[in-house]
Amino acid sequence: MLLGGLAAVGGLTAAPAQTGQVVVYSARHYGQEPAFEAFTRRTGVQIKMLNGGTGELLERLKAEGDKTPADVLLTVDAGNLWNAARAGLLQKMDSPELQASIPAHLRDPEMRWVGLTVRARTIMYDTRKVKPAELSTYEALGDPKWKGRLCLRTSGYVYNQSLIATMIRRHGEARTAEIVRGWVANQPVILSSDTKILEAIAAGRCDVGLTNHYYLARLLAKDPAFPVAPFWADQATTGTHVNVSGAGVTAHARNRAQAIKLLEFLSSPEAQQMFADVSFEYPANPQAGVTPLVARWGRFKQDDLNIAAAGEFQAAATRLADRVGYK
């Protein structure tokens, strides 16, 4: 379906390179269309998109090799971007503009990918039962006072794998195992989605949980009285864990220059604001604004550990979760 300058693209055979188009393989299924359309209006360059799951798109890029039509890979979670780069599916980008727009901790140290939006994974609490003064750190969710009161998403989901991976990078495996073992000792309710965790808190099944912030924003946009609020974890120490959705130029991009121009535009305050307004995420570019619903939660200190750790320690995080009984 055509959407302004956007069109679906299919098949495994690449069309001849065209300077007037960029083909995007996207595992991000919402929020980018206004920015893509603005890029097309400004430059005349058409955006063609193929949507799919991250694993599906990575396998497709591997199978297509140098025959791929894809110029850009857009996906969620730094762990997925790290895996794509490690598999040789992304190339280095020589772009001072991207380096100036996106803080160093939100992009690949070798500039094979950059974060475009920021997701804070933090503590959510029932405003009817829990006072903010009772909350502090991720580690403190292992306090016995939260026994039977904690909801968590399954450890197999990439957002939690990335949280644990960055904790390993920050604290080491032994200390991280102690932290996660504390969560498990509190007999958490394990649910299959962040939205279900927030709904469980509102329904009284648990009093606290860990989710990405924008899931709460979506619920509050529909129901301002929804009785859950975020607490920014670890503000007195390392800062709240953040992750990204982001993008990189594919290793065999046929429209490399235009692909880099697209990413440079997507990192600009104008496009970043479009992402934030539609998706309730935080802009990766600190010069861009935050949508009012999210802004009312106030500023918070981000963990400035480079998020590439989410991929580098992903396998270790999976092993650790299994070892301590976090299902």
30 and 172, same domain (yes or no): no
230 and 133, same domain (yes or no): yes
The domain containing residue 54 runs over which residues? 6-117+244-289
Domain membership flag for residue 294: no
Domain membership flag for residue 190: yes
* Total residues found in the chain within this entry: 327
Domain membership flag for residue 225: yes
Output b/e per residue, 215-252; b: 16+ Cβ within 10 A. bbbebbeeeeebebbbbbbbeeebbbbbbbbbbbbbbb
Domain membership flag for residue 296: no
268 and 188, same domain (yes or no): no
Which CATH number characterizes residue 148's domain?
3.40.190.10
Nearest alpha-carbon partner for 120 in 257, 281, 10? 281
3 state SS for 191-247: ECCHHHHHHHHHHCCCCEEEEEHHHHHHHHHHCCCCCEEEECCCCCCCCECEEEEEE
Nearest alpha-carbon partner for 268 in 282, 281, 287? 287
pLDDT (0 to 100) of residue 15: 40
Q: Which residues of the chain have pLDDT under 50?
A: 1-18
234 and 139, same domain (yes or no): yes
> CA 36, CA 274: separation in Å to the nearest integer?
10
Domain membership flag for residue 297: no
pLDDT (0 to 100) of residue 3: 32
110 and 86, same domain (yes or no): yes
Domain membership flag for residue 300: no
Domain membership flag for residue 219: yes
201 and 212, same domain (yes or no): yes
319 and 280, same domain (yes or no): no
279 and 198, same domain (yes or no): no
pLDDT (0 to 100) of residue 29: 79
Report how far apart, in Å, the C-alpha atoms of 82 and of each of 36, 43, 89, 324 are.
Answer: 24, 30, 10, 25
Domain membership flag for residue 169: yes
84 and 231, same domain (yes or no): no
69 and 199, same domain (yes or no): no
pLDDT (0 to 100) of residue 156: 94
pLDDT (0 to 100) of residue 256: 97
Q: Which residue has the tokens 């220059």?
A: 257
pLDDT (0 to 100) of residue 296: 97
- For the chain, the domain total comes to 2
132 and 225, same domain (yes or no): yes
Q: For residue range 174-191, list pLDDT tens digits in order.
A: 999 999 999 999 999 999
99 and 129, same domain (yes or no): no
Q: For residue range 37-61, list pLDDT tens digits in order.
A: 999 999 999 999 999 999 999 999 9
pLDDT (0 to 100) of residue 125: 99
